[in-house]
Structure 1
Amino acid sequence: MRHTPHFLMTDVDEVKRLVTGNPWATIVSHTDAGIVASHYPFLLEAPGPDEDPDEIVLVSHVGRPDEVAHELGRHEVLVVVQGPHGYVSPAWYPPEQFVPTWNHVTAHLWGTPELLSDDENFRVLGELVDHFERVMPEPVSLEIDEETARRMAKGTVGIRIRITRFDARAKLSQNKAPEVVDRIIAGLRGDGPYASPALADEMERAHAARADDREER
């Protein structure tokens, strides 16, 4: 990503929050055959009692033969997590500011995948289903028919990625005056063509945190 120090997101907990809220991610590999990209849901794996609580560990699965196409386990991969994003119109700026922009919250995370055993893969698959089903009125679980679920799971390969480094950005109009930020948020919460309540939420959260930091100083 473009080097923009004032938009850097360095707080590990904020990156974890981004992953949790936006689990559909892109995995990119630089293989002998060229660049390969796929899209899968990722979950954060909770640290064990003897593990670093600040470590970011992702778990997921790929459908066969993606593990071959990505050469998983042989080299580092990039996982791209995209949070709320959207066009910011200069209609929300003062007249002298006429250049639009695109606000976003994005993280690039690197690590070398570990291939999971069949049992671990099935456990992760179950956790993925349970994670997304928990908000349903009548959640469905793989335990409904474990034999069939295990048979279908053989078409997937589980992965664990311990993140060794990340580059995250929260570009949320931090370079704008408070009254302009308020207008942008109002525009994003409106009913216009570029309405984005989720992006408005991120902007409010970020600017509230900045205000708290200024007060503490």
Structure 2
Amino acid sequence: MHPNPIFRRRDRAAHLEMARDRGFGVLTLGQGDRPLAAHLPFLLSDDGLWLEAHMARSNPVLRELDEPREALLVVNGPDAYISPDWYGVEDQVPTWNYTAVHLRGPLERCPQEELRPHLRRLSDAFETRLGPKPVWRLDKVGAEALARLERMIVPVRMHVREVDGTWKLSQNKPDAARHGAADGVAGGTPGLETGRIAEMMADLPPDATDPA
């Protein structure tokens, strides 16, 4: 997380809302001097106290879960390169704006019989966002194909003990400079979902900024 506290004023509820909305992150686990990582979709509980996911049986992370292990799930939101020319202020340097949430806690392997209910919940959660397209259901997969899939993946759960987040949106710049940067981002810049982060930069409440 960014050390500047102005980028970390959002509360736990805002961090959890963003993580739940994204539903995809990078799970990291220590293994001596060789950290491990897995990219995976997940579901976050309503109270934010646990999340469920699954991974390939051959994933090196899974091999470390003979017992629960402390893990970190990194959930990235929109990001964008910021040119100093956009601020309209002297002596500025390039930077990168971004949003990210970190979820930490013990990760454990779940019983295999929990896999199919998990897969139903996961697909239903994302399919319902695609309306008016009819919701795809797991029942559409033939029994043999589904059994083959289930032999290849394993359910896991993280008990979320720590939630932290960074929302770096030029809050440390004067309002005019921040809005100039937002306009620059909206016009096109390297990054992901740059239009969305431009909106976030432009719509900050007054108590979220500190131009001093």
TM bucket, shorter chain: 0.7 to 0.9
Question: Structure 1's 146 and 111: CA in aligned 2 closer, same or farther, altered over 3 A?
Answer: farther
Superposition TM-score, scaled by structure 1 size = 0.83
Over 3 Å counting, the alpha-carbon distance change for 1:107 and 1:99 in structure 2 is same
Q: CA RMSD in A?
A: 2.5
SS at match of 1:173: coil
2:55 paired residue among 52, 62, 77: 62
Instruction: Give the TM-score of the pair, scaled to structure 2.
Output: 0.84
2:124 is matched with which residue?
130
Q: Show structure 1 runs of 5+ residues with no match.
A: 47-52
8 Å Cα contact 1:76/1:111 also seen in 2: yes
SS at match of 1:71: coil
Q: For 2:68 and 2:14, locate their aligned partners in 1 and report how far apart those are by CA, in whole Å.
A: 29
Between the aligned residues of both structures, percent identity stands at 28
1:172 to 166, 169, 172: 169
1:144 aligns with 2:140: yes
Q: Which aligned pairs between 1:41-80 and structure 2 lie closer than 5 A?
A: 41-46=41-46, 53=47, 55-66=48-59, 67-71=61-65, 73-80=67-74
1:129 deviates by 1.4
- Cα distance, 1:9 vs. partner? 4.3
Stretch moving more, 84-93 or 32-41: 32-41
Kindly state the Cα deviation for residue 19 of structure 1 after the two structures are TM-superposed.
0.8
Shift of 1:139: 2.6
Q: 2:99 aligns with which of 99, 105, 113?
A: 105
Task: Look up the SS of the partner of 1:138 in the other structure.
Answer: coil
Count how many residue pairs are aligned between Structure 1 and Structure 2: 204
For the residue of structure 1 that corresponds to 2:35, the secondary structure is strand
Q: CA deviation at 1:111?
A: 0.8
CA shift at 1:44, angstroms?
A: 1.0
Structure ranking higher on relative contact order (CA contacts 8 Å, 6+ apart):
2
Structure 2 Cα separation of the partners of residues 84 and 73 of structure 1: 34
What does residue 5 of structure 1 align with? 5
Structure 2: runs of 5+ lacking an equivalent: none
Give 1:76 deviation, angstroms: 0.3
SS for the counterpart of 2:101 is: strand
Aligned to 1:199: 197
